[in-house]
Amino acid sequence: MLICIPNVLDAAQIVSLRERLDRANSWVDGRVTAGYQGAPVKFNQQIDELSDVAMACQRIVVSALERHPTFISAVLPNAIYPPMFNRYGEGMKFGAHVDGSVRINPQTGAKLRTDVSATLFLTNPDDYDGGELQIEDTFGRHSIKLGAGDMVVYPATSLHQVTPITRGTRTACFFWVQSLIREDSQRALLHDMDNAIQRLNQTDADEIARRSLIGCYHNLVRQWSET
């Protein structure tokens, strides 16, 4: 399930993040956190994830995620890997790869299964050329280039890449989520059901039917959840 989520960050949050990142002196080669598959095809920079600026920016992003209903509905997060921040200048790219299945939280040492990958764009698309996030699934290849503050989430099992930058600089936040629901198809069904419930709530549909549907939703979460 690939979902684009608009307005995860507001204008003030974007400005705050960009100011911190643009003046940071803790940018490092992006390959420091790449696995054996990703390292040969990864050419970008990222903020040292244990630096003060990284942790300050992480707090802004996580706070926004915790309050965003579409993110919660689509991902059903159990644990969020501390968000990371990268940038691509001219000629930089990240070749086709699949994200590693398990990440170790550098702050706590806890292991996290990567069910969902997320990219939160921090640069408007008019500010750079190239740099599309291309994601492949059973329906083909999707090219994603969103506005600053918008995010895409997709199964971490997907083959994906970032195309070369030909002008400007692309700055983004990226992270992974271990979901309460491991299977993507089950998460998709629950997200569709939640959307239907919300629409029925807005139209004051039959209360007994709505209560039954809400019960079915929670019973499915209870049945499929791994916690």
Per-10-residue mean pLDDT of the chain, 227 residues long, equals 97 97 92 74 93 96 97 97 97 95 95 98 98 94 97 97 98 98 97 94 86 95 91
pLDDT given at position 182: 96
pLDDT given at position 97: 94
**What are the helix and strand counts (H, E) for the chain?**
5, 17
φ/ψ bin of 165: left (φ > 0), alpha (ψ from -120 to 50), beta (otherwise): beta
pLDDT given at position 71: 98
pTM of the model as a whole: 0.94
Q: What length is written for the chain?
A: 227
pLDDT given at position 83: 98
The owner of tokens 């903020």 is 47
Q: Domains of the chain, with CATH numbers?
A: 3-179 (2.60.120.620), 184-224 (4.10.860)
Buried b vs exposed e over 191-213: b needs ≥16 C-beta within 10 Å?
A: bebbeebeebeeeeeeeeebeeb
pLDDT given at position 224: 97
User: 218 is written with which tokens?
Assistant: 């929670």
Q: What is the C-alpha separation between 61 and 38, in angstroms, rounded?
A: 25
Q: What is the C-alpha separation between 128 and 112, in angstroms, rounded?
A: 33
The DSSP 8-state label assigned to residue 160 in this structure reads E
Residue 157 CA: distances (Å) to CA of 80, 86, 138: 17, 21, 12
Q: What is the C-alpha separation between 161 and 158, in angstroms, rounded?
A: 10
pLDDT given at position 36: 66
